Amino acid sequence: MAKRNNENLSISDVLKEFVETNRLEKGLDKVNVRDAWTSLMGNGVNNYTTEISLERDTLYVQLSSSVLREELSYGKEKIITMINEELGKDVVKKLILR
For 27-75, the pLDDT digits (tens) are 889 999 999 999 999 999 999 999 999 999 999 999 999 999 999 999 9
Indicate whether 5 pLDDT > 60: no
Rounded-to-integer distance, Cα 87 and Cα 70, Å:
25
DSSP single-letter state for residue 89: S
Cβ atoms of 41 and 35 within 8 Å: the answer is: no
**pTM of the shown model:** 0.77
Indicate whether 81 pLDDT > 90: yes
Q: Which pLDDT belongs to residue 12? A: 85
Instruction: Give the E-state strand segments of the chain in sequence order.
Output: 49-55, 58-63, 94-97
